Structure 1
């Protein structure tokens, strides 16, 4: 192990690496409960995806891709279906009125993964990262955080959305006339609201006392309390749908519909998956590489980050192949790095634990949707922290960043936020240059992206 992972060279040992891997797993294991709930529309099956199949896909994709990251890149970063993109995935299906099915959406993710491979191999991916200003990158992260939060408060029924005083919208935000939209606070007598608030309080307390795996332990503790409240059915532990031995026949392997994807015309969806993942992964990989000291040798560090990007790109298509949304590098990996993880042995340890979790489906199925909704709200908070990196005193970057942030949750669409941010930045930065005040150099690729956005709205509208 020392020779393969170069442990001594990185100033670490087997025990430290394994403990770091366990720590990383504990901080991100919540995805095993949250992702199946989101992609199966909180166990209702409204998206056309089965809860068990998504659970198997989540654990399998996270385990295999993370192990590959450790073995082939020697990088202490774990991967799993990404928060935000999984919510966007479900929203696209639920708000398409049947035009986009689960196989079509999975095909879109698969294609975006192929695009990533091409962009990575041709170095275009790195070029795009230079073209888009840091302010928009941070704004995208913040906007997705708010997008996740609004899903959490809506699915827990803390937030109510109605056509009138009697009709609630459950599946998603339906386009309404401005005078007809009614947003309100849910009833405190609603068990779903009570469970979500309990979960929110517990996770917050655990985070304040710096308990490792605060989100996971918060979800588990909330589930225990929900059981004593009478809202958890232990029958799921013996149900045929959630067996202790993985039933891979339920896996949606290669559940694709290429013809349907072409007929549905979801180019915008594919580009959104590609665009958001592009910045999310880069920020996570570079940030964790810096924390692990990998970037001290700039040339070697860049080479390893490049290899990590390639594994990440393959993971996107690989995740879609087994039936889950976009797989991406997790910022929670920094928890393991903080524990001393410096090599791929940390990632391999985390990956093995995800594969072992395949045998824990019944326990994950016990967790009520409101408990995972509380986790969504907290994850939104963590993503909001990037807002401090945006200079709101400089209007050239402040206005595009603001539009990026608010358009995501308020229009219930990640792509809309990115679109408004890109176009407004190109316009304002160019005008600033013309008038000699607060100007910015606008990369030619930003002009290409802005033109594509305008064509998107002009040709296919804002849906």
Structure 2
């Protein structure tokens, strides 16, 4: 039955591998169960309601992705979009969270329309091969940065410019605002949490080098157990792995669509739409490429269904009471251990639904255990760089900018935007304009207009 439903043999995988991949993906992204309620709770939403919306929304939409599309891609409220929703829209602009959910719902409807009219599919099909591979590599570096930050191996801090006491006093005296720069450096390697993450990275790398099946999942479990054994991970007194969710505190169907329209939140809706468009497209292209789902013509069978599921997920999340649900880059963790079909997504989604009853147990898995998995997966995704033609500047420079801007600006959308502008521009200037699909020129214009709009 599973073979017929998910075409396991056709994609050179089996049930055990897919289950392992689903568990690995869930562990790599389970942090969203705690981070999302914290972020949206800071904006005045009930944390329990957000937790329910996160676990149910991620579970249902991820299972939809598995059953309807047969892709090993997991879905959950997107990091970045939830921060924009909470801190910019609700706190910064004073928009009620119900109206903000209404704006998210409307952006989901726009996505559905773009998908059923095949506009989104056309965007993927028209994407140059060099950029498709660059997106995979860029997301790999993006995932690596996420892993390095979560582990504490990499530290980011703000530093005064200039960092001298005399100039600081002088600036304060004449009312000149102080300037800061971002410093990226090694974290505190002597910290117990960072040391545990380093050990986890070392263990997982050894297992990967020895080609142990499920190496990433084993690494996560061993690191978690080591953290508990050494006291780095504390088990609270009276700990019970099972808890009954409080369904009396929910935000189901609390969104205010008319409120969003009456408040003139078109700018907010446009921002949700634009960022989600490129983030989701980049993530799905990257994961599908890594999973070997791209055919010889550069197309992805089932991508239309995947985008429709993604679009529906946006609106479903808002109905349940959370910000934009989107494809998660942490899906690469499951793909990295061999996930190739929708069974991976079904397993992951089922665990999200079950997590409502096992949140204390999920909470014991530390970032020091999941972060090494993201770093390893980031390394695996670098493989696609060899498919970029580095003998043709008009091909590799847009790809290069796509790759570096994703981790350096901490945005998948920024990287894709750079590539979409530079690729047709360089082709056109060099008299090779026909090599770029016509849809790429339209996208380039839209990208430029979007960033000009943001600059105002």
Taking structure 1 as the reference length, the TM-score comes to: 0.74
Q: 2:454 aligns with which of 425, 436, 460?
A: 460
How far the C-alpha of 1:411 sits from its partner, in A, is: 2.5
Structure 1 match to 2:168? none
- State how far apart, in whole Å, the 1-side matches of 2:428 and 2:245 are: 56
Q: Give yes or no for contact 2:142–2:410 (8 Å, CA) kept in 1.
A: yes
How far the C-alpha of 1:428 sits from its partner, in A, is: 0.3
Structure 1 match to 2:27? 30
Structure 1 match to 2:156? 160
Q: Give yes or no for contact 1:107–1:261 (8 Å, CA) kept in 2.
A: no
Q: Cα deviation per residue 1:272-311 (whole Å; 9 max; x = unaligned)?
A: 21122124335645875859xxx89xx9x95x55445433
Structure 2 match to 1:203? 204
**Unmatched segments (≥5 aa) in structure 1:** 167-175
Structure 1 match to 2:361? 363
Q: Cα deviation per residue 1:370-414 (whole Å; 9 max; x = unaligned)?
A: 333333323333433332222222110111111112122222333
Structure 2 match to 1:138? 133
Q: Cα deviation per residue 1:31-56 (whole Å; 9 max; x = unaligned)?
A: 45232355357x99667778766664
Q: Cα deviation per residue 1:85-129 (whole Å; 9 max; x = unaligned)?
A: 834335646885943789587666544433332122112222212
Provide closer, same or farther for how the CA distance between residues 248 and 138 of structure 1 changes in structure 2, counting only shifts above 3 A: farther
- State how far apart, in whole Å, the 2-side matches of 1:237 and 1:52 are: 21
Q: Does 1:121 align with 2:119?
A: no
- State how far apart, in whole Å, the 2-side matches of 1:398 and 1:138 are: 10
What is the number of residues matched between the two proteins? 427
Taking structure 2 as the reference length, the TM-score comes to: 0.75
Structure 1 match to 2:243? 244
Q: Give yes or no for contact 2:424–2:440 (8 Å, CA) kept in 1.
A: yes
Q: Give yes or no for contact 1:236–1:365 (8 Å, CA) kept in 2.
A: no
SS in 1 for 2:436: coil
- State how far apart, in whole Å, the 1-side matches of 2:96 and 2:376 are: 27
Structure 1 match to 2:172? none
Structure 2 match to 1:170? none
Q: Give yes or no for contact 1:198–1:222 (8 Å, CA) kept in 2.
A: yes
Q: Cα deviation per residue 1:137-162 (whole Å; 9 max; x = unaligned)?
A: 22223223323322332343322323
SS in 2 for 1:197: helix
SS in 1 for 2:197: helix
- State how far apart, in whole Å, the 1-side matches of 2:293 and 2:346 are: 20
Structure 2 match to 1:391? 389
SS in 2 for 1:235: coil
Q: Give yes or no for contact 1:23–1:212 (8 Å, CA) kept in 2.
A: no
Q: Does 1:270 align with 2:290?
A: no
SS in 1 for 2:358: helix
How far the C-alpha of 1:363 sits from its partner, in A, is: 1.0
